Amino acid sequence: MTEMHDYIVVGGGPGGCPVANRLSVDGRTTVCLLEAGGDNKHATVRVPLLLIANVPKKNGFNWAFDTVPQKGLNGRIGYQPRGKGMGGSSAINALVYMRGHPGDYDEWEAMGCPGWGYRDVLPLFRKSEHNEVFRDAFHGQGGELNVAALRTDNRYHKLLTDMLRQAGLRETDPNGAEQEGYSVAQVMQKNGERCSSANAFIEPIQATRKNLTVHLNTQATRIVFEGKRAVGVEVVQQGQARTIRARKEVILAAGALQTPQLLQLSGVGRAADLKPLGIPIVHDLPEVGYQLSDHPDFILGYQIPDADGLLGLSPKGLFGLWGQWGRYKREQRGMFTSNFAEINGFMRLTPRSPRPEVQYEFVVGLAIDHARKLEPRHGLSCHILCLRPKSRGSVKLQSARWQDAPLIDPNFLDHPDDVREMVEGAKRVDRIVKGSREIGPRIKKDLFTADCRSDADWEAVIRARADTNYHPVGTCRMGTDDRAVVDARSLKVNGLQGLRVSDASVMPAITGGNTTAPTVLISEKCAEFVLAEARASASPVHAAAMVS
Ligand SMILES: Cc1cc2nc3c(=O)[nH]c(=O)nc-3n(C[C@H](O)[C@H](O)[C@H](O)COP(=O)(O)OP(=O)(O)OC[C@H]3O[C@@H](n4cnc5c(N)ncnc54)[C@H](O)[C@@H]3O)c2cc1C
């Protein structure tokens, strides 16, 4: 017999887990969460520092996509790690809890997304959050997603914050009233362990909610349509293909790279792209996969011959780590709780800028090239991100086969303003580091920018080294205009029935910060839309039960 549920959610990341939780809360509505990967209970997922084992390579936790050659990066092929398994990318990411600037959400509203302004979304951020540190009007207590202070306390951590203070910068809560300034990362951790979207929203309810089915190692390969209505999903599970039916809706949460891929494989996308691949068109929706936006990232690197407090693979550093492992097991504190990007900051490039244009993330080690090459030296690095890139790219199919990775083109540094902001941001942070009495005198070697004199030198080194900060969004843009992929008032796919999108792909503009918290917000909002509609269509008796 064909398996059937009220709702099918495709993807167990920050876009999928919250909505699966909220829709199954009444104990009766049946929800099926499909995840291509496994349960992700492995130590390399739970222990924050061990993300270093998963990010650099393709394995059971990481899809590890490549981009197409990037014109703006001298033709280089970029790397796009994406989490696989429960928690999605929040199972391998750097754990930074960052919502973006309040003005980002007001911008969404102004772009034609009513109900997405900051005053609308703040209560939803608070709803899903349990913040162990901040108890004020900006933060929530009692929500599922645990946000904690970093439990690492190495010497460089303090030297870096001293350096930023001496440079005249202010320590802020970037999720509070003022984003500009610096902060020690607020991390999605609980008791020193990662708190992924699955740890937060699914694990605690999985044993008791019999109406929630989680199918692991189950990849959706096509959405099944009857006419223009989505009625189920074809999946491959342990090598076997079968169909799972949805009585009410299919909700896509496969992330900004794989949600458009699944739509396109199912005949929803730009007809001119799909027809040559032999894919029958269900609905011509030209922007599916287009409007890809991602934060370009350039890493400053400084060699510092000091194994005390800095991550690195020297014999002394490894010996130190061994001691730290013992400490982690005893106290769940210390280096193994590090998220790498320990200190974050935001800067405006002109006093007139309404929002910071640049984010910087200091790492107490040399994790260069996504840590794909082992780095034996000790040192500090700092990621520089252009927060609102104007370049737009795309995600397209290379074939009609679901097994083939999508063609990912972030089109990094296509727009000259993106380059200008990266250059300016990198120069300023470099000046702070080298001019500081805390860090400057300890630097043995500036690894990448020692020879930069002019802006052209900086641009050359940035184009030669930059890549992603792992925040692809926008490939199923929401809005209320004709070309939008999903309707901002419902997250329903335009022109189709029974189909919504609940993940980072709906963002109409990238947020100025890391993208997990905004994706959890989108998922909360999706649940609100679905539940409000279900209430409206339910009988009065049933509706009362759903509210209570
Ligand atoms: C290395 C790295 C570091 C990052 N650091 C941070 C950070 O510090 N802070 C932050 O806020 N953000 C960070 N991010 C970004 C953040 O993790 C993502 O923005 C966020 O996870 C997006 O959520 P999503 O649900 O849209 O997609 P994802 O998290 O990618 O989840 C999609 C899920 O869908 C599954 N899936 C895909 N296709 C299918 C299919 N066909 N069938 C079934 N399942 C499918 C995938 O396996 C995955 O589990 C980082 C990301 C990475 C990769």
Q: Is the pLDDT of residue 212 over 70?
A: yes
| Calpha distance 288→254 (Å, rounded) | 14
Q: 108: which 2 tokens?
A: 């969404």
| Ligand 1 pocket mutation pick from 516, 520, 523 by most atoms within 8 angstroms of CB | 516
Token duo for residue 34 = 């499909």
Pairing mode, strands 341-347 and 478-479: unpaired
Look at ligand 1, atom 38, and give the residue with the nearest C-alpha. 254
Closest to 473 (Cα-Cα) out of 129, 100, 114: 100
What percent of the chain stands above pLDDT 90? 92
- Ligand 1: does its nearest atom lie under 6 Å from the Cβ of 92? yes
Categorize the per-residue pLDDT at 548 as very low, low, confident or very high, splitting at 50, 70 and 90: very low
pTM beyond 0.95, yes or no: yes
**C-beta 519 within 6 A of ligand 1:** yes
For residue 320 the two structure tokens come to 């130190």
pLDDT at 546 over 80: no
- Tell how far the Cα of 181 is from the centroid of ligand 1, in angstroms: 27
C-alpha to C-alpha distance for 540 and 536, rounded to whole angstroms? 9
| Pocket flag, ligand 1, residue 219 (CB < 6 Å) | yes
Per-residue pLDDT of 8-21, as tens digits, reads 999 999 999 999 99
Task: Give the count of beta carbons closer than 10 Å to the beta carbon of residue 305.
Answer: 14
The CA-based dihedral angle spanning residues 358, 474, 354, 132, taken in that order and rounded to the nearest 10 degrees: -70
- Is 519:14 a contact under the CB 8 Å cutoff? yes
User: How sure is the predictor about 258, in pLDDT bands with cuts at 50, 70 and 90?
Assistant: very high
Closest protein CA for atom 14 of ligand 1: 93
- Report DSSP letters for 348-383, one per residue: -SSTT-SS--EEEEEESS---GGGTS---S-EEEEE
Q: Which of 157, 215, 295, 471 is catalytic?
A: 471
**Looking at the domain that runs over 151-184+296-386+414-465, which CATH code has it been given?**
3.30.410.40
**88 alpha carbon – ligand 1 mean position (Å):** 4
pLDDT tens by residue, 425-476: 999 999 999 999 999 999 999 999 999 999 999 999 999 999 999 999 999 9
416-435 helix and 455-465 helix, angle to the nearest 10 degrees: 100
pLDDT tens digits for range 179-209: 999 999 999 999 999 999 999 999 999 999 9
Calculate how far, in angstroms, residue 36's C-alpha sits from the geometric centre of ligand 1.
Answer: 12
pLDDT above 80 (res 309): no
Locate the ligand 1 atom nearest the alpha carbon of residue 14 and give its number: 25
Find out whether the beta carbon of 310 lies less than 6 Å from any atom of ligand 1: no
What atom of ligand 1 comes closest to residue 219's alpha carbon? Answer: 42
Residue 541 has pLDDT above 70, yes or no: no
Q: How far is the CA of 389 from the centre of ligand 1 (A)?
A: 20
Q: Which atom of ligand 1 is nearest to the CA of 88?
A: 49
**Using CA positions, which residue lies closest to atom 24 of ligand 1?**
255
Atom of ligand 1 nearest to the CA of 84: 47
pLDDT tens for residues 483-539?
999 999 999 999 999 999 999 999 999 999 999 999 999 999 999 999 999 999 886
Q: How far apart are CA 116 and CA 391, in angstroms?
A: 23
Of 125, 17, 23, give the one whose Cα is nearest residue 511: 125
Segment 341-360 shows an average pLDDT of 97
The dihedral region occupied by 176, where left means phi > 0, alpha psi between -120 and 50, and beta the remainder, is beta
Element at 292 (helix H, strand E): strand 290-292
Radius of gyration of the chain (CA): 23
Q: What is the pLDDT of residues 36-48, one digit of tens each?
A: 999 999 999 999 9
Q: Is 471 a catalytic residue?
A: yes
Q: Which pLDDT band, with edges at 50, 70 and 90, does 153 fall under?
A: confident
